[in-house]
Each structure stands twice: as structure tokens, then as C-alpha cells.
């Protein structure tokens, strides 16, 4: 069985509902010390971008493409439904479909609010009760990876450990093919797949209300935190709903990733994750408070290498740490790195 990573909240008050697991207060995410790359700014990352040319797959409960909040951003003809045949085998069927719950439409609305020119495709794997099977989930995810979607949003997960290897394999395939997978951590503190794999970008909620504010998480397993509490989203019957859950934090990061990819088409997933890290609010705020940064001249060459080659002079399989990158850049600038 798969779990959507959300909890509906129509009360409008976060204090009356339990918070999703791994959510954190924005104030505790302040970083006292950070080593960052100065020229990887938000303006460089997505300034002027609209999501043009980017394809986003939403693996979920379907998307209501007629919802006015989506403004025609859904590629209806490319949408698919994963179904089981008489022998219990999962098959991907291309056909128009609706949203069985509202969950997928909500995720689509958030992504569209960030990247209005991105095209969204629905990969329907969940039914009316937001339940499914792991083989259906894996089949839908694999299809999206094989189709080469730029960003894939997964606001759901499976608890079945027997399927961990299958999820791991398809997520690795996505990583090396260049698809950027964004996953929501479960709202309950338990392991679900594939949300905590290193090959994906795992997201939980912070307590802030600004949709553009997101944080690098200094306390894994999740890597980033975005708005996920009391979020107004499009829902069934062309309505709106105020809801809470890590499910709705993840598409904030997916929307940002779509913006970055529309402006920097050659970035690989590990590079895109680095850009998100460098532009996270708490990383930038630590830098503004005078935390150590790399040498600006060397950082400029780092940014330029992305612009010109789409590479960081590292193999995607490299295990080089960010500290090692800084040391290399400092050496190139003929200046010792900050202690």
C-alpha cells in the first residue's frame, strides 16, 4: 500500500493539528556558520525564468486539468493511468483521466504557481482513497523516468521494504538520466520509499507562510524544508482547500526546480541540488551575517563552468564533498581556503 504524504486541514489553524513528521520551526533552521558559493544567487538561478520548455510529471491521484487555477498547463493527451490486468501485472495506459481525490491537482497548482509556463503531465497511480500498490507506483515512476521528464514530483511513498530495491533502482536510473526527483517525507515518523534515498530530493515542512522561503535542512534525513502548513491549494470540483502536509511542501521545491531547469537546461540533478542548497534562505542568511564564503573570483569560475559546460568538473558519481570543492576553488585562485 502507498501512503500520500499529507494530512488535510480545513481548520486554518496549525496549532489544532499535529505537524507532519520532520517538520521544523523556521527559527531553529538558522545556520551560524556556512560555506557557500557566493555567485549562486537566486537571480542567477531562476531570475526571469517562467518554466518555459520544462516538463513536469506528477505521480499521484490524477490531475483535474479543467481546474481554473491550472490555466491550461496540463498536457491532457500525454497523461497516463497505471492499471492492473487480469493477471495482476501493472500496465501504463495513455488516456484522459480525472483526479480521484484532489491530491494531485493540489500539487499541480503549487508547481504552476511557481513555473506557469512549465507543462505538467499526470501519472495516475492512486485511487479514490489515496491507496494503491507498490507495483503500480513503481510502474508509474519508471514510465516518467523513461519519458525523460525534467522534474518528477512524488508526494507519496511506500512502506513495503520488499520494494525498496525496486524503488532504489528506478531512482538511480532517474538520477543518471537527468530527471530531478522530488519526494515528500511521510507525515508520520517512519521509513517510506523512495523519500529518503540520496538520489532523490527529500522535502518536509517548515512553519513559515512565505511560499518562496525554503531551507536547507542541517538535520537530515530530509534535505530541504518548504511551506507545507496551512497551504491553500486547488481541489476537487474547481474548489480550494486549506491543507497541511509534507505532500504540499514537496511541490514548492519541484516548482523551483522547474524554474531553474528552464533557465539552465544542462544542469544535472546533483548540480541542481547544489543550486537549491546555495539559494536556500538559511544558507543565504548565514552568508549575509558574515559566515565564511569561498573566494569570489574562484566562485565566479565555478559558476562560469556551469554556464559554459553544464558541468562542475566532477563526475555525477563523484563523492567529493563540498568542502573539497571549496578547497579546489581556493587553490585555483591561489588563496588558501577559509579555516
* Residue 76 counted as domain residue: yes
Residue 122's alpha-carbon distances to 2, 154, 202, in angstroms, are 17, 11, 20
Tell me the CATH number at 148.
3.40.50.200
7 within some domain: yes
Supply the pLDDT for residue 289. 78
* 28 in any annotated domain: no
pLDDT at residue 39 in the model? 76
Q: Is the peptide bond before 194 cis (omega within 30 degrees of 0)?
A: yes
How would you write the pLDDT of the chain (339 residues) with one tens digit per residue? Answer: 555 654 444 334 444 567 888 788 876 677 776 555 667 899 999 999 999 999 999 999 999 999 999 999 999 999 999 999 999 899 999 999 999 999 999 999 999 999 999 999 999 999 988 889 999 999 999 999 999 999 999 999 999 999 999 999 999 999 999 999 999 999 999 899 999 899 999 999 999 999 999 999 988 889 999 999 999 999 999 999 999 999 999 999 999 999 999 999 999 999 999 999 999 999 999 888 765 544 444 344 334 444 443 333 333 333 333 344 344 444 434 333 333
What is the spatial distance between Cα 326 and Cα 328, in angstroms, rounded to a whole number?
Answer: 5
Tell whether 134 is covered by a domain: yes
Q: What's the domain count of the chain?
A: 1
Where in the sequence is the domain holding 91, given as residue range(s)? 2-13+33-265
Whole-number pLDDT of residue 21: 85
CB atoms within 10 A of CB 209: 12
Let me know if residue 296 belongs to a domain.
Answer: no
pLDDT at position 339, please? 33
Q: Is residue 167 included in any domain, yes or no?
A: yes
pLDDT at 291: 54
**Residue 285 belongs to a domain:** no
Q: Is residue 87 part of a domain?
A: yes
Amino acid at each position: 500500500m502507498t501512503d500520500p504524504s499529507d494530512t488535510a486541514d480545513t481548520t486554518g489553524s496549525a496549532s489544532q493539528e499535529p505537524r507532519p513528521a520532520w517538520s521544523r520551526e523556521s527559527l531553529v533552521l538558522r545556520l551560524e556558520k556556512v560555506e557557500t558559493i557566493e555567485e549562486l544567487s537566486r537571480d542567477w538561478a531562476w531570475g526571469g525564468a517562467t518554466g518555459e520548455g520544462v516538463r513536469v510529471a506528477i505521480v499521484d491521484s490524477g490531475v483535474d486539468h479543467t481546474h481554473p487555477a491550472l490555466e491550461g498547463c496540463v498536457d491532457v493527451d500525454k497523461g497516463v493511468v497505471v492499471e492492473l490486468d487480469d493477471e495482476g501485472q501493472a500496465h501504463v495506459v495513455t488516456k484522459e483521466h480525472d483526479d480521484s481525490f484532489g491530491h494531485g491537482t493540489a500539487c499541480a497548482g503549487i508547481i504552476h504557481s511557481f513555473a506557469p509556463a512549465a507543462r505538467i503531465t499526470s501519472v495516475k497511480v492512486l485511487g479514490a482513497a489515496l491507496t494503491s500498490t507498490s507495483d503500480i507506483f513503481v510502474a508509474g515512476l519508471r514510465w516518467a523516468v523513461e519519458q525523460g521528464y525534467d522534474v518528477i514530483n512524488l508526494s507519496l511513498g511506500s512502506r513495503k521494504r520488499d520494494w525498496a530495491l525496486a524503488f532504489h533502482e528506478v531512482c538511480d536510473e532517474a538520477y543518471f538520466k537527468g530527471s530531478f526527483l522530488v519526494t515528500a517525507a511521510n507525515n508520520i515518523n517512519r521509513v517510506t520509499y523512495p523519500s529518503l534515498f540520496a538520489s532523490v530530493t527529500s522535502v518536509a515542512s517548515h512553519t513559515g507562510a512565505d511560499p518562496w522561503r525554503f531551507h536547507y535542512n542541517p538535520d537530515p534525513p530530509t534535505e530541504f524544508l518548504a511551506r507545507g502548513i496551512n497551504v491553500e491549494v486547488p481541489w476537487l470540483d474547481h474548489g480550494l482547500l486549506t491543507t497541511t502536509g509534507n505532500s504540499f511542501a514537496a511541490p514548492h521545491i519541484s516548482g523551483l526546480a522547474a524554474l531553474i531547469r528552464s533557465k539552465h537546461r544542462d544542469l544535472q540533478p546533483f548540480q541542481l541540488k547544489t543550486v537549491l542548497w546555495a539559494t536556500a534562505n538559511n544558507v543565504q542568511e548565514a552568508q549575509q551575517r558574515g559566515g565564511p564564503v569561498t573566494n569570489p573570483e574562484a566562485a565566479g569560475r565555478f559558476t562560469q563552468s556551469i554556464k559554459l559546460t553544464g558541468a562542475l568538473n566532477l563526475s555525477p558519481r563523484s563523492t567529493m564533498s563540498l568542502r573539497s570543492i571549496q578547497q579546489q576553488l581556493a587553490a585555483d585562485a591561489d588563496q588558501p581556503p577559509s579555516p
